[in-house]
Amino acid sequence: MGYEVTISDGASEVVAGADTYQLEGPLTTFFRTDAGRRVVDSWSVRLASFRTADVVRIRRVDDVLAA
């Protein structure tokens, strides 16, 4: 699984391998978690962060599309 993030300048980026995301202050951060978990904890791996004010759309995509 992953997420396609579209930002205000029209660019989009796929964050492959991300299971979940959450707001961290002014950033939206994407994480990979352990199998079967959707909880962000100390074992989660940060994959990418975007300035929340610039994020226009977040769309979940399958691994096939994220590759």
Residues 18-58: pLDDT tens digits?
A: 989 999 999 999 999 987 777 888 889 999 999 999 999 99
Helix (H) or strand (E) holding 20: strand 20-24
Report the pLDDT value the prediction gives residue 63, as an integer from 0 to 100: 65
Q: How far apart are CA 6 and CA 53, in angstroms?
A: 12
If one counts the domains in the chain, the total is 1
Check whether 7 has a pLDDT greater than 50: yes
Per this entry, what is the length of the chain?
A: 67
pTM of this prediction?
0.84
Q: How far is CA 14 from CA 33, 41, 46, 50, 55, in A?
A: 17, 23, 14, 12, 13
Structural domain span for residue 23: 2-35+44-66
